[in-house]
Amino acid sequence: MVPSLLFELMLICILGVASQWVAWRFRMPAIVVMAATGLMIGPVFGFINPEQDFGDLYSPLISVAVAIILFEGSLNLSFQELRGVGRPIFRISTVGAFIAWILGSLTAHYIAGLSWAVAFVIGGLFVVTGPTVIMPLLRQAKLKARPAKILKWEGIIVDPIGALLAVFAFEIITFMTASNPEASQIIFFFAGSLFAIFLGWILGRGLGWMFEMGHVPEFLKSPTVVVVVLFCFTIADVIMHETGLLSVTAMGITLANMGIRSVSDMRHFKENISVLLISTIFVMLTASLDVATIIQIFNPHIIGYVLLMMFAVRPLSIFLSTIGTGLSLNEKVLIGWIAPRGIVALTVSGYFAGVLTDAGYEDASILTALTFALVIFTVIAHGFSIGWLSKKLNLSNKGNPGALIVGSNPFTVQLAKSLKEANYPSILVDSSWENLSLARKEGLESYHGSMLSEQTEHHLDTIPYEYLLTLTHDKSYNSLLCTTFLPEYGRTNVFKVSPYTAFKDNGYSTGVVSQVGGRILFDKKFSLDDLIDKVENGFTVRQTTLTDKFTFENYKQTKDPETVYLFLIKPSGQLKFFSEEMRTLPATGDKIVSLTKGKESERQPAQS
């Protein structure tokens, strides 16, 4: 047992974030690591039991976390993303959800042995997937844009729909089994659902208007959003249980489509909060299991139910609902397989387990075990298979991680060519058609537009690119891009060309704060003009492999002082760009690609 509640909360947070780090470090599904961590510290070793230890605070904490996570996910649902995928998303979220509800309810009755009443409640609930489990998988698998968008939208939209289906089923059951049934119960349910949508919409519009008119200072915007989300969720949930999820989703989608810049600025803050909440809440939920529930999970009826849900109900609902939507067979197979259940299923099923048991449905006592079985089986199966399956179906971005290069000029064209020859994807982005003509002549990937444009955000697929290189003549723009995209790419993967200008006595000055934005590419003594001059004056790209006898020091001795070291390729295939802050020294087996003096005929093509 832990010494205090404060210590337990600290332990849960540390283990949750540590689970995310372990998953990132060893390329494992994060949700699998979090689930394993919770099981180890909870039912296996008995260190903590959050449900007992937190008492009455346990359910509100989980509910608040789910509300914030769902709101953060809905903030990413811009209607512009629906171009080309709107029809399949609509069909999956409506027809597909209904088919999954009916088939899931039949499976729960005939296979798991639940009564019709309990089966239809749990069948409605289990249509959910949710951002808590889908988002980590999408980050892990690097799917192509279309299947990734469909899974993301489905996960966020269907979450409140599943909860509402469960509530609706319960209301119908209550109505049909009552001695004096009143139609007002059903009317109240629909009225409560419509009110939740309206509340989310009006709060989203109101908050957006306040931000746009400057009625909320910058330092208060994030706290204000969190408070309004909690208000929106609580009010709707008090009026009609489980409609709070619908309300915060409507609020998030409303804000996402108002085109408010400050909301985009807060998105990274919300993402960080969501990662922390997902990490801690998932650990709390799995740690709250008891040994009896874990044993019950392996009941043959429960296992049979889970297997049918995974291999029959989900694929059938997707295949039937997407007929005529233009999805390929491979896309249907992937989407029909990937449907992990997460926090919403766990929390809502816990609520209905108690309500249905109190209503006299004794078979509802197995709902907790049934839900955990579905969550654990789907999390493990889908977490470990999404990467492999997406590659087999040609729905993931294959190959090495590439570089997104902002600015098309003679130097960046040569840099992109060297990356292409080394089998690393790259794309040149520029707002000038004239500049991009250099890239098109060389047969390089290019995109016309500004990186800060909303259109670029929705039309440029950035998933294949792990590195951002800003090499335009505008030093301030380079720094702004690095600062803007640093949360998305990571501090070590964002670079800018040197903003420094040389002056006498071998010193350097800059009009832009050098610490703003990303790392300085190559060397601060090489400005963009210097790099372009080298290319135009006959410098060529060459590749050299280091050996025990020909070390990096030997290599430097053979090179002219004006040589620009571009990047190196580790034996593992890892790509590293040379920069002012580079700490890793080239070692034996590394391939160094540099821009150096020499004739074009002497150029050695880079190969991975």
pLDDT grade, residue 261 (50/70/90)? Answer: low
Cα–Cα distance for residue pair 167/356, rounded to 1 Å: 11
Mean pLDDT across the chain: 80
- 554 lies in some domain: yes
One domain for residues 458 and 540:
yes
Closest CA to 522 of 512, 534, 513: 534
Average pLDDT over residues 416-445: 85
- CATH number for the domain spanning 109: value is 1.20.1530.20
The residue written with tokens 């489990």 in the block is: 133
392, 420, 446 - which closes a domain: 392
Cα–Cα distance for residue pair 571/547, rounded to 1 Å: 12
Would the pTM count as exceeding 0.85?
Answer: no
Least confident of 491-505, 511-525, 592-606: 592-606
SS (HEC) of 175-243: HHHCCCCCCHHHHHHHHHHHHHHHHHHHHHHHHHHHHHCCCCCHHHHHHHHHHHHHHHHHHHHHHCCCH
Least confident of 166-170, 439-443, 495-499: 166-170
Quote the tokens at residue 42.
């909870």
350, 374, 392 - which closes a domain: 392
Average pLDDT over residues 260-271: 63
- 532 lies in some domain: yes
pLDDT of residue 332: 92
Number of domains in the chain: 2
Supply the DSSP symbol for 522.
Answer: S
Three-state SS at 259:
coil
One domain for residues 423 and 350:
no
pLDDT of residue 605: 38
Say what the alpha-carbon torsion angle 582, 587, 590, 592 is, to the nearest 10 degrees. Answer: 50
- pLDDT tens figures, 62-113: 888 878 877 877 776 666 666 667 788 888 888 998 999 999 999 999 998 8
- 349 lies in some domain: yes
- 49 lies in some domain: no
One domain for residues 377 and 245:
yes
pLDDT of residue 481: 81
Cα–Cα distance for residue pair 53/38, rounded to 1 Å: 15
One domain for residues 339 and 297:
yes
- CATH number for the domain spanning 589: value is 3.40.50.720
Structural domain boundaries, residue 372:
57-392
One domain for residues 458 and 353:
no
One domain for residues 344 and 413:
no
